Amino acid sequence: MGPLQELTLVTYSAQETGELGEALGALTLPGDLLLLSGDLGAGKTCLVQGIARGLGVKTVVRSPTFVFATEHMGRLPLYHVDLYRVDDPREADGLGLDDYIEGDGVCAVEWAERAVDLFPADHLLIALAHVGPDDRSLRLIPSGRRYVELLNGLKERIAAGRPASPDA
């Protein structure tokens, strides 16, 4: 489960980030936990919108910044959590995060770095960062067997030609 398992990709448009999310969403299983970190505009919501498409969600996915979490129904439920307004990890403690983490859906958390200690050790961390105006790097770091497997599935899809190419 070491750093050798991780993968860094660069996308060159919001559409490419969405496609990556879609590929990931298609591979998810009940109970999966996806932790997204990165600054405002890094593409977290864009990625979650793709994940939703990959799960067959038909409703509109927006940043749930002012409501903490929204639930969408697809092949599996998608719990879209946003911790933007959490300043202190202890605040997040009382929000009912565990219900989402322990639920049978796929839980995708924006600003997960604001409450890192609250999450189970096993998860897929996706650290997004600005590289240029339309360029974003996405560093995918799996923790635990399930997430190594999930990332391997994604690597296979990428090797098959879609979506984004691995960064050289």
- Residue 16 burial (CB count, 10 A): 22
Nearest to 24 by CA among 58, 53, 57, 45: 53
Minimum CB–partner distance for residue 121 and Mg ion (Å): 25
Site track for Mg ion across 28-47, x = CB under 5 A: ----------------xx--
Residue 14 contacts which entry, ligand ADP, Mg ion, none (Cβ below 5-8 A, type-dependent):
ligand ADP
- Residue 64 binds to ligand ADP (criterion: CB under 6 A): no
- Residue 87 burial (CB count, 10 A): 10
What beta strand segments (E) does 7-122 contain?
7-11, 33-37, 69-73, 77-82, 106-110
- Residue 46 binds to ligand ADP (criterion: CB under 6 A): yes
Nearest to 110 by CA among 37, 28, 61: 37
* Residues binding Mg ion: number (CB under 5 A): 4
Whole-number Å distance between alpha carbons of 105 and 100: 8
Binding to ligand ADP, residues 16-45 (CB under 6 A): 16-17, 38, 40-45
> Residue 28 or 45: which CB sits closer to ligand ADP?
45
Residue 43 contacts which entry, Mg ion, ligand ADP, none (Cβ below 5-8 A, type-dependent):
ligand ADP
